[in-house]
Amino acid sequence: MMQDTARGPLARRSFLSRLLAGAGAFGAAFGATTAAEAQATPPAGAFQPARHPEDDWFEQTTGKHRFFYDTTTADAFAQALFFARNFFVANASGYKLADADLAQIICLRHESTSFAFTDAMWAKYGAALSERAANFVDPKSKQVPTTNIMMVGGYGELMRNVNVTIDQMAKRGVRFAVCAMATRAAAQLAAQKTGGNVDAIYKELTENLIPNGHMVPAGIVAVNRAQERGYTFSYVV
């Protein structure tokens, strides 16, 4: 009897401990499931951005990580090219990720839009494109460029892209959002300088984009839509 009595309280305590531990595990599992469900299903009345087919190009990627660079000046665009290269390099060395794992878009709007066009457009409308880019000049010759100098290396520290070119980044999968409103403004200025037709020049510019260029209604609209599509945002200065 004494032995049974001594075992009784121990048995009861062991049973209670197991019961509480089981309840705790159940509660943790239930809480985790609830949290996951809450994350997957926004609460009633929570804001959900509308989706438009015009923006589906943001989804044309296998990237596990998404980055969107907003640029409004020539210097900022050059810097964004350099940052995009660094993003590839650091993710490869630090995480063993391939280029295809990273979705990067650089937005060209306002004064940076001039660099969204090919050498042929700079040869033909360089004066207007330079003026639209805050009177940008070739840092070597100090003259209005007749080519898109963001397409070629060789400028080193004279430019903030430090020899990282549009072509190099396009080949690695970087895409470029090009502001239609700024392109229209460039066409208007080019028409004034050449006596040409605004609509014809605008059409010509949009048909001669840099590799991986994509026209958007306005750069600022792309800034908004990219974030609604899960891209991390960086305003490059």
Compute mean pLDDT per 10 residues along the chain, 237 residues long, and list them: 48 52 48 49 85 98 98 98 98 98 98 98 98 98 98 96 98 98 98 98 98 98 98 98
- Domain span at 34: 1-41
Task: Write down the pLDDT at residue 18.
Answer: 57
Q: Could you tell me if residue 71 is inside a domain?
A: yes
Q: Tell me the C-alpha distance between 236 and 208, whole Å.
A: 25
Same domain, 78 and 2: no
Among candidates 86, 117, 235, 88, which has minimal Cα distance to 186? 117
Same domain, 94 and 197: yes
- In this prediction the pTM is 0.83
- Which residues are CB-contacts of 93 (< 8 A; sequence separation ≥ 6)? none
Same domain, 94 and 148: yes
Same domain, 36 and 68: no
Same domain, 36 and 67: no
Residue 135: alpha-carbon gap to chain centroid: 27
For residue 177, with 0-12 CB atoms within 10 Å meaning exposed, 13-18 middle and 19 or more buried, which class applies?
A: buried
CATH number for the domain spanning 91: value is: 3.40.1260.10
Same domain, 99 and 202: yes
Same domain, 37 and 112: no
Helix axes 180-194, 198-206, angle to 10 degrees: 130
Q: How far apart are the first and last CA of the chain?
A: 85
Question: Per the structure, how many domains does the chain have?
Answer: 2
